[in-house]
């Protein structure tokens, strides 16, 4: 798998994304073509994206933010 920067992207997207080297034109091109022409891969990424988004809620974000503030104070 290719590296994608910034590193926090993998925390956000998990396995619901194609990772590539943003400094390598061939890596970018290959990744785009793969998603465009591989319908199975595209559908898998869409499905995984919908599953992944369930992990990010406003309630969870608020609770984590409160924890950070409590630790600072």
**1 belongs to a structural domain:** no
**3 belongs to a structural domain:** no
**2 belongs to a structural domain:** no
Report how many domains make up the chain.
1
**CB-based contact 27:61 (threshold 8 Å):** no
**42 belongs to a structural domain:** yes
> Tens of pLDDT along the chain (73 residues)?
555 455 567 778 888 999 888 899 999 999 999 999 999 999 999 999 999 999 889 999 999 999 999 999 8
Structural domain boundaries enclosing 44: 8-72
**64 belongs to a structural domain:** yes
DSSP string, 30-44: HHHHHHHH-HHHHHH
- Looking at residue 5, the DSSP 8-state letter turns out to be S
Q: What is the pTM of this model?
A: 0.69
**60 belongs to a structural domain:** yes
């Amino acid at each position: 798998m290719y590296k994608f920067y910034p590193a926090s992207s993998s925390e956000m997207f998990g396995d619901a994304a194609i990772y590539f080297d943003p400094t390598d034109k061939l890596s970018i091109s290959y990744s785009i073509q793969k998603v465009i022409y591989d319908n199975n891969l595209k559908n898998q990424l869409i499905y995984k994206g919908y599953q992944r988004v369930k992990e990010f809620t406003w309630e969870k974000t608020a609770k984590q933010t409160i924890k950070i503030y409590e630790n600072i104070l």
